[in-house]
Structure 1
Amino acid sequence: MTETAVSTPDTAPTTAAPPDPRPAPPRTRGRGTGGAGRLRALDGLRLVAALMVAAYHYGGRGGDVATAWGTSPREQFPTLHGLFAYGCLGVQVFFVISGFVICRSGWGRPLRSFFASRVARLFPAYWVAVVLVTAVFALPMVAYATVSPSDALVNLTMLQQPLGADRVLGVCWTLWAELRFYALFALCVVLPGATRQRVVLFCAVWTLAAALAQASGEPFLGVLLMPEYAPFFIGGIGLYLVHRDRRDVLAWGIVAVGWAIGQHCAVAGLWHAPDPHAFSQRSSLGIVAVVTLGFAAVAAIAVGRLSWANWRWLTTAGALTYPFYLVHEHLGWVVIGFLHRRAGLPSSVTFAATVASMLVLAWLVNRYVERWATPRLRGALTP
């Protein structure tokens, strides 16, 4: 989740948007914000959400990952596979974090600077991940088929899903959701200038419009307004308003509505009736619990309850999250196949070693790609 679900706010420029007509509320940030207002606990939560998704891709689903293990992950993890199946909800947690971070990043920033920060944050690691996965899947000893050269090129635009091209990265569907959120927020909030009133109106209108899109069944409205994911982004935006002023009752109301609709959407999309042939059985109560914990964790950060979590390594964890999220699925399957089927390592050791190797690869991408390319790309796009 990209950030994506995993975006890192950049330092806002000196050019400010029109001032909020309401008197500025007292800030509620604690001593744990770190540096120039950095919320290091949020960085840690990003990594937790990414590890949840990795657990799902390695041991909580069937399909292609069974090729890597040689058998179904249900046989590899007879006790934990049912728990790993809830890891897919890490995406919803990412979306809540993204709502918080994008509102924070876009506040007081002109549209061009906002656009530059998002492009520079998302694309360098993404381009590297697309090239890496395409190249590895093209190797003769790898059991997975690569996409066509034409589709691989389309993937570099991050628009492969609406254009109907084959995806190189399985997780890129979440980036398509993130891009639509960025566009809506940029046009409705950043372009006219972020104020509390405008952000509240944006949340209210998007909530109602998403519900109407769901009711209408109109495909275009569904693509534009994302009724299944909008509540999580909106809930995250509400939590940023809470971060600015924890006494803001209306902001808490936005969070509550986002949580209520979001858990419903998650249950509707991820719960299914008991089926002996299904990989695993998620309970509706379990889905609601994970969504609730995700909202609660971001809320605790927003009001400063986790300000004590100010360790420097959390900043590194946050920096690794996005490249880890991009590379972990398909390249992780290749590593699993090598360690488990060829090297004969036990399932638990293979699982841990695969996660560790993907974190190392994420560190390399962050160290030698993002740190070099992100500021240069942002500078090239910013006057």
Structure 2
Amino acid sequence: MKAHQAQYVPGLDLLRFFAACIVMVFHLAFWSWAFPTGQVAIASHGVANFKDWTTLAPFGWAGVQIFFVISGFVIVVSAERSSAYKFFVSRFTRLVPGVWICATIALLAWLLVDVGTRPLSLFAMYVRSVAFFPKGAWIDSVYWTLGVEICFYALMFVLLLTSRQRWIKPIMCGIGLISTLFWIGYTFAAQDRNSELFELFSQVQWSRFAQLLLIQHGVFFAFGVLLWSHFSKKSSRGELAWLVLFAMGGCLQIAGESVLKLEKTGLSFSPLTPCVIWLSAMLFFWIAVANNARAQQLPDWCLQLLRRLGLMTYPLYLLHNVTGGALLGAFIEWGIPSRVALAGTIAVVLALSWWISKVPEPALQKSTRALFDTLRARWQSTSSTSGVRDAG
């Protein structure tokens, strides 16, 4: 990868933060009332009412698809010149401490709002979350994306472990192609929603196992990997054709997701708006990476701010749904006007995310890395001693 592109890309931290914010607005300002059985509605006691916020709020879920593309790009950059051990430690320390902290806060939020769920059931959900169990129920429904991310990470880890980094691009092209073909088939089958074919595709769409196989969202990870390849190596027409294909597949997935939202809420959604949001984000992505050398010349305070926004994104994503919903409901029940309550909730969640990214998360990450280093040193020492004894 060219020097300026191998460095930190501040534009991606801004894009990541934007994605987290629109997902937060979607859950707090739309899902909280449009889907009464959802966790954010339950945590807020169903008192939120933003039915006049139907212009953009219903489409913030497209931020998840943006996350997946960023992961495809960033993870392959980190994996390209990493060992399997270093990659595993970096991913573990990036994912696990944040979940341990935020899941604990979500558990406390559930206990405080008193929605009638038994504490033992909440604790079981908490354990499944902090243990990264691949299937719910989790302490917060947003944790569904973690299993999908981990499956992608696991694939990268296996390729590193077997020294097959050169296979990353062709394998991801294959995964992206399978995902795109699935959504082409789904779109075709959806023309007759009473057909057996559509029923079959719907079963796959709802399947957690298919999610973990990256059938539904593999196209986004593949798009990110192809963007990495485009900017790091000599691009070809074939590569651009793959990008166009995966862009189409991504739009078809988003259109299918719109149908899913329709089924859950009974409301009508146009797939055009979330497609425009995602495609606009991809255009920004392209510009940010292509002009990274210029971005690196921004003032230090600006780069530090962008980096902090990027670090806040993970706890923000993990906190906003249940913890944010509990705050929103409490504010409204205290007599605070809905719009002010929403603004206050967002401010509190942002402040808490900043604090987590600044204080407890780095400390826990440092301790986790130190533990891995200690265990590795002991293992190497034991292996060395065993080798000497065997030689003797």
Q: Same fold (TM over 0.5)?
A: yes
- Of 137, 144, 147, which aligns to 1:173? 144
Which residue does 2:380 correspond to in 1? Answer: none
- Of 29, 34, 50, which aligns to 1:59? 29
Q: Is the 8 A contact 1:60 1:86 kept in 2?
A: no
Which residue does 1:327 correspond to in 2? Answer: 319
Map 1:311-322 onto structure 2 (within 5 A).
311=302, 312-322=304-314
The answer as to 2:127 corresponding to 1:153 is yes
The answer as to 2:290 corresponding to 1:303 is yes
- Of 68, 71, 90, which aligns to 2:63? 90
Where 1:320 maps in the other structure, the secondary structure is helix
- Of 240, 246, 258, which aligns to 2:228? 240
Which residue does 1:199 correspond to in 2? Answer: 168
Map 1:3-152 onto structure 2 (within 5 A).
26-27=2-3, 29=5, 37-61=7-31, 62=34, 63=36, 64=38, 65-66=40-41, 73=48, 75-78=49-52, 80-139=53-112, 141-143=113-115, 145=117, 147-152=121-126
After superposition, the C-alpha distances for 1:276-302 in whole angstroms (9 at most, x for unaligned) are x94643212223212211222211222
- Of 293, 305, 309, which aligns to 2:280? 293
Map 1:275-294 onto structure 2 (within 5 A).
278=265, 280-294=267-281
Q: Identity, % of aligned pairs?
A: 23
Where 2:359 maps in the other structure, the secondary structure is helix
Which residue does 1:361 correspond to in 2? Answer: 352
Larger mean Cα displacement after TM superposition, 173-182 or 305-314: 305-314
Which residue does 1:254 correspond to in 2? Answer: 242
Deviation at 1:71, TM superposition (A): 5.7
Hey, which of these two has a bigger chunk of helix by percent?
2
Structure 1 residue ranges without an equivalent (≥5): 1-24, 30-35
Where 1:271 maps in the other structure, the secondary structure is helix
After superposition, the C-alpha distances for 1:14-55 in whole angstroms (9 at most, x for unaligned) are xxxxxxxxxxx65563xxxxxx81111111111100001000
Which residue does 2:369 correspond to in 1? Answer: 378
Structure 2 residue ranges without an equivalent (≥5): 186-199, 377-392
Q: Is the 8 A contact 2:172 2:222 kept in 1?
A: yes
Deviation at 1:305, TM superposition (A): 6.5
Q: How far apart, CA to CA, are the structure 1 residues paired with 2:331 and 2:305?
A: 29
Q: Is the 8 A contact 1:336 1:354 kept in 2?
A: yes
Residues 113 and 189 (structure 1), Cα distance of their counterparts in 2 relative to 1, 3 Å cut: closer
- CA RMSD for the aligned pairs? 2.9
- Greater CA radius of gyration, 1 or 2? 2
Q: Is the 8 A contact 1:207 1:230 kept in 2?
A: yes
State the AA in 2 paired with 1:41.
G
Q: How far apart, CA to CA, are the structure 2 residues paired with 1:42 and 1:50?
A: 12
Where 1:60 maps in the other structure, the secondary structure is helix
Residues 127 and 26 (structure 1), Cα distance of their counterparts in 2 relative to 1, 3 Å cut: closer
Q: How far apart, CA to CA, are the structure 2 residues paired with 1:184 and 1:256?
A: 24
After superposition, the C-alpha distances for 1:54-101 in whole angstroms (9 at most, x for unaligned) are 00110122224445666675x4341x2341010011000010111111
Q: How far apart, CA to CA, are the structure 1 residues paired with 2:46 and 2:209?
A: 41
Residues 347 and 130 (structure 1), Cα distance of their counterparts in 2 relative to 1, 3 Å cut: same
- Of 246, 253, 257, which aligns to 1:269? 257
Q: How far apart, CA to CA, are the structure 2 residues paired with 1:306 and 1:176?
A: 34
Normalised to the residue count of structure 2, the TM-score between the two structures is 0.78
Which residue does 1:348 correspond to in 2? Answer: 339
